[in-house]
Amino acid sequence: MNDSQYNLIAEDLLLAVEEAIEESGVDIDYEGVGGLLTLTFKNSTKIIINKQAPLHEIWIATKFNGHHFAYSDSEEVWIDKRGGDEFWQFLSSAVSIQAETELTLSSE
């Protein structure tokens, strides 16, 4: 994947996260600026999702830990380099914990 492809795929992912949060109906504030998306929860915790363009990765920092996701061209999904979780699966779990309510987020 070249830099242009990465930037398009990563920006689409960040926009899809914003849309998924908006559609969830849960009170989660979000702000996206320059490849950085911050989710702020009612309990004042945050999840930060950001592009790591030099590495062609997406990083997520939660209340508990950080994870690095690399794009799998063959599967067309972002995969956690540490635990092997798919991006949306991991994000749904992390958001559910920090929002203190069960949520399933997806790009659809």
8 assigned to some structural domain? yes
Check which CATH number belongs to the domain holding 60 and give it: 3.30.920.10
81 assigned to some structural domain? yes
Contact indicator for 36, 18 with CB cutoff of 8 Å: no
Write down the number of H helices and E strands in the chain.
2, 6
Domain that holds residue 21: 3-99
Give the lowest-confidence range in 10-14, 27-31, 104-108: 104-108
CA neighbor of 17 nearest in space, from 42, 51, 44: 51
104 assigned to some structural domain? no
106 assigned to some structural domain? no
Q: What is the pLDDT of residues 24-49, one digit of tens each?
A: 989 999 999 999 999 999 999 999 99
Q: How confident is the model at residue 73 (pLDDT cuts 50, 70, 90)?
A: confident
Q: Which pTM value belongs to this model?
A: 0.91
107 assigned to some structural domain? no
- Give the number of other Cβ atoms within 10 Å of residue 48's Cβ: 14
Measured between alpha carbons, how far is 16 from 2 in angstroms, rounded to an integer? 21
> For position 74, what pLDDT does the model report?
84
Q: What is the pLDDT of residues 45-61, one digit of tens each?
A: 999 999 999 999 999 99
Q: What is the mean pLDDT of the chain?
A: 94
Domains in the chain, number: 1
